[in-house]
Structure 1
């Protein structure tokens, strides 16, 4: 059964390139990004893992841990990481799960038979500190992930968790946000949004990002 937004991300214990991982314990109180790859030594995934390594500082600022998955072995991962580091000028330090028994792939519904009966599709999950799934994206094998979008969504989730706002289309850090329609008390609105707001419609009230 596929995971839906708000579901608790399944816990598991599995070997990885950095040792045995007990997933919920490993996450601790952090956010997490779990993303899968069809196999080691695949070109698009090599670029993605290199990019993830280079974005370690950005993920760290957001209290996000990253963890990849491939169905190949720990020994294969070790060789692949050397290739990634060399070809992408990277330094992969995050774990790559060795999911040879497909345990994690099946828990997270990463095997799509109409795409491949053996290889995982390229899924990505954002998981919050309460272990809830907050975002799912599944890409075709031919298309590399947009990690700027992953970071943008995490920024939106973290902002909207703390303020009664939503983020409009193409929003990025520093842009105006939308006051949620359920908030109607003008005194409460003035207190929560002292910078004011622009009511384009009664249901569409734009306000400066409240934590800036």
Structure 2
């Protein structure tokens, strides 16, 4: 067993997203090209598969919604650029949907491995259905993983990044099921003095709506 490969620490929320440069369906792209923007990097197991096709159709149809919140989309799989192009052409011809966001080729699995989507010793890409929300500073702010037979929710991906944006803007937190226009929550106090001060009005010191 290769101890060097197996000792690599898995990526965590708050880590810098690993840099890369690769060919895509929209020309060569580097992660640095997206600096200053919110990015959703999402990987799929293989082209021409049913769940992945449903996801890409839905992402393409929601492109305007992602653009409206300043969020870019970037797909990835270990299939070749030519496989990506053939798949996108087939989606266009059969479903009338044009996928305009870039899809990265990763035939060496170098990017997938760097992001922890694959064990360095894995014989194939069977474990890949991962998503990473990367902020304008290039930091990973959220990650999600799905099994091969369950598709991702495009609406949840939109909600997640908008919640992160709003929480950053107003310095609060978003409650369960938060959507645009709903109240936010104050950050929890981190000292006894702050907790006692908040409790003087009779409201729960640990659960308070953020005042606009």
Q: Residue 70 of structure 1: CA displacement?
A: 1.2
Q: Offset of 1:47 from its aligned partner?
A: 0.9
1:48 matched to 2:51? The reply is no
State the TM-score, normalized to the length of structure 2. 0.85
What is the aligned partner in structure 1 of residue 77 from structure 2? 70
Partner of 1:174: 181
1:17-166 matches, within 5 Å, as 17-24=25-32, 26-112=33-119, 117-119=123-125, 120-166=127-173
Query: Which residue pairs with 1:195 in the alignment?
Result: none
Question: Cα gap change, 1:104/1:205 in structure 2, threshold over 3 Å: closer, same or farther?
Answer: same
- State the shift of 1:75 in Å: 0.9
Distance 1:170 1:152 in 2: 9
Task: Decide whether the 8 Å contact of 1:72 with 1:100 is kept in 2.
Answer: yes
Distance 1:40 1:15, change over 3 A: same
C-alpha contact 1:200 1:206 (8 A) present in aligned 2: no
TM-score (ref. length: structure 1): 0.85
Superposed CA RMSD in Å reads 2.2
What SS is found at the alignment partner of 1:204?
A: coil
| Greater per-residue strand proportion | 1
Unmatched 5+ stretches in structure 1: 190-197
**Corresponding residue SS for 2:157:** helix
Choose the corresponding residue for 2:24, options 16, 19, 24.
16
Question: Residues 76 and 199 (structure 1 numbering): CA distance in 2 closer, same or farther, change over 3 Å?
Answer: farther
| C-alpha distance after superposition, 1:123-160 (max 9, x if no partner) | 00000000000000010000000111111111110011
Structure 2: runs of 5 or more not aligned: 1-8
Larger displacement relative to structure 2 (79-88 or 40-49): 79-88
The structural deviation recorded for 1:86 is 3.3
Deviations 1:50-79 (A, max 9, x none): 111111111111111100011111111111
8 Å contact 1:50–1:85 — kept in the other structure? Answer: no
Aligned length: 196
